[in-house]
Chains A and B, each alone.
Chain A
Amino acid sequence: MTFLTETLAWLLDPAHWVGAGGIPTRLAQHLLFTLVTLVVAAVIAVPIGFLIGHTGRGRGLAVAISGAFRAIPTLGLLTLVALWVGIGLNAPYVALTVLAIPPILAGAYTGFEAIDRKIIDAARAVGMSEMQIVLKVELPLGLPLLIGGLRSATLQVVATATLAAYIADFGLGRYLFEGLRIRDYGEMLGGSILVILLAIVLEGLFALAQKLVVPRGVTAGRPTDIPGGSSRSRPVMELTIEEGNSHVRNE
């Protein structure tokens, strides 16, 4: 109980809501850090994922590399990179980008792979170029799963970005490390709660986005006689059983 009252007292202390070390500043830092990491990871992972999904080649390699990336302990990588590039934000950026790439990559290529081959074939047969197939067919139809990958990456980065404070005075993680050092458990728990709240808010936003990007034609005309069966979250249509399609292949 004392932890909770301490936490509440820490969170409600007006002194903690102002200044360079205040909650709003650290929250903004944390958010910005997450955003930059995601953008960098997406810039790397999305084109590679699209290429794999479009050509159907290199998937085995991508799965292997993603798996290897995931197995890397982030704290270990962070320390290693920090020893190499020094104290500051560069090391956490590198470590967390490595963490964010696998889910985005998987979202990008599974999104493409889940599209009925007949639709792609027809698009090609009527005269779409490969680039037009990617941009006008595969991207809109694969977007929900790509957003799903970004969502999963965001969650991991927001939570793990606390580690940035391990080697830099940055983000909400600072409260955890500081609290640990001075044994202020109220501060530690308060910081944790803030991270959790941020994660939940972002998760909600992405869940919403994921629903909104499902193309209308994909959800329209679904049988309405299935009570309570929301079809909105179904990202792709015509997943035929005989082709053994499955949009959740490795994740």
Chain B
Amino acid sequence: MIEFHSVTKRFPDGTIAVDDFSLVVPSHKTTVFVGTSGSGKTTLLRMINRMVDPTSGSIDIDGADIGTLEPVKLRRSIGYVMQNSGLLPHRKVVDNVATVPMLRGMPRKKAREQALALLDTVGLDRSLAERYPSQLSGGQQQRVGVARGLAVNPNILLMDEPFGAVDPIVRAELQQELLRLQRELGKTVVFVTHDIDEAFLLGDQVVILRTGGKVAQVGSPAQILANPIDDFVSTFVGAERGKRSLHVENHGNGNIVVDETGRLAGVLVASQSTAATASGSESRAGPRGPGASVQGGDSR
């Protein structure tokens, strides 16, 4: 569990990136910080591994104030995945993944073996292990980035817009992979994005941020969509317009869900186990998505 206690960050030039921010990030769940640029979401993320120290306030991990921990040691215990993968260009894929375990003193051979197993975990072929990052596609590089983040088997995984720089199709693949991994591994994931659809897809808890690092609303995707707290949130999640504003039209023996623009969004079917959350799995192939009874919103 990660707790933010009245955290404020003021940069030397006077900009307030984060203002009196308090939040509990539950363990084994995915918490997504979403907001436009300048909303302080990346700053919040980087405070968790002390890449940025708060001006005031404190952050606890499992009850321990991280301000008292040694930054390098703390960072080695937390997985970090960034945009553009951040891999070391002069090291092979397998060595990139093995980097942090070796910094923690694991013998090279064992670290490399474990790195190969991690490539399996993130869905990469082992034949890529001996390549250099520049020889991989953007999507493959991001998978290596995730494997590196998982290499020390951390409880916490920080992801800073990890899928921001890949094309939409690869992004959708990587998002599904992350959901799969999260089902298997159950890490405490803190994920930063500016994409509300990505936030609703991946997040158990979504934190919508305003400019200046102020919380606009915290809740599950369903809670936020159902009860946007104010105009800012409803505009941000797009509830009042287009793709998220759905109504039902009856067509003989079936109820069709149609969005504001008249586009067919899906078919209304009897609810199975989950409520209509609009955050459930989205299928790009057809209008009928598995699990969710109403297909609300298209990823892009």
Contacts and interface: CB of A to CB of B under 8 A. Distances in A.
Interface residues of B, number: 31
Interface in B64-123: 72-77, 80, 82, 84-92, 99-100, 103-104
Given A218-B134, A220-B132, A125 B86 contact: yes
A29 interface: no
Contact of B51 (A125, A140, A215): A125
Contacts of B134: 217-218, 220-222, 237
B193 interface: no
Contacts of A137: 88
A216 B134 CA distance: 10
A217 B133 contact: yes
Contacts of B90: 140-141, 215-218
B132 A129 contact: no
Contacts of A129: 72
Contacts of B73: 127
Contact of B76 (A118, A126, A220): A126
A119 B92 CA distance: 15
Interface string A116-129: 00110111111111
Interface in A13-43: none
A17 to B, nearest CB: 46
Nearest to A122: B86
Nearest to B83: A118
B148 interface: yes
B75 A126 contact: yes
Contacts of B76: 126-127
Contacts of A237: 89, 134
B100 A127 contact: yes
B223 interface: no
Contacts of B255: none
Contact of A217 (B82, B92, B148): B92
Contacts of B82: 118, 121-122, 125
19 contacts: A121-B82, A121-B86, A122-B80, A122-B86, A123-B86, A124-B51, A125-B51, A125-B82, A126-B86, A128-B103, A129-B72, A216-B90, A217-B132, A217-B134, A220-B131, A221-B131, A221-B132, A221-B133, A237-B134
